[in-house]
Amino acid sequence: MGDEEKVIIVEGRSDKEQIRKIIDEEVTIICTNGTLGIERLEQLLYDYDLDHKQVYIMVDEDSAGHKLRKQLARELPHAQHIYVDRTYREVAATPAPELATALLSRSIMVHPFFLV
């Protein structure tokens, strides 16, 4: 999957802002704003050409996040999953060093500053 464009799918704007601060490469971050209807999901697949990109799913560790992860995994079987520690529950509430380590584990470049 070499130089394919990377896309991270998150739930909310605060998740997006938190990740944006940490990553150190060009990555498109898509907010779903919660669960997706079929039409909206199809539109995202089409608009972002997700079948031909390196896709990462990073959602909250709660029931809404699990539901969204399942839905996205069905539509994007090639997507890689990035998990946050269950104790923090939310991507936005996860400490930056934890997020940086999780992102780096999927070969997403992060600012070294966050790797404490």
The set of residues, in sequence order, having a beta carbon less than 8 Å from that of 83 and lying 6+ positions away, is 58, 61, 102
Domain ranges in the chain are 6-107
Q: What is the pLDDT along the chain (116 residues), one digit of tens a residue?
A: 456 899 999 999 999 999 999 999 999 999 998 778 889 999 999 999 999 999 999 999 999 999 999 999 999 999 999 999 999 999 999 999 999 999 999 999 999 999 97
**d(Cα 108, Cα 46) in Å, to the nearest integer?**
23
Model pTM score: 0.94
| CATH number, domain 6-107 | 3.40.1360.10
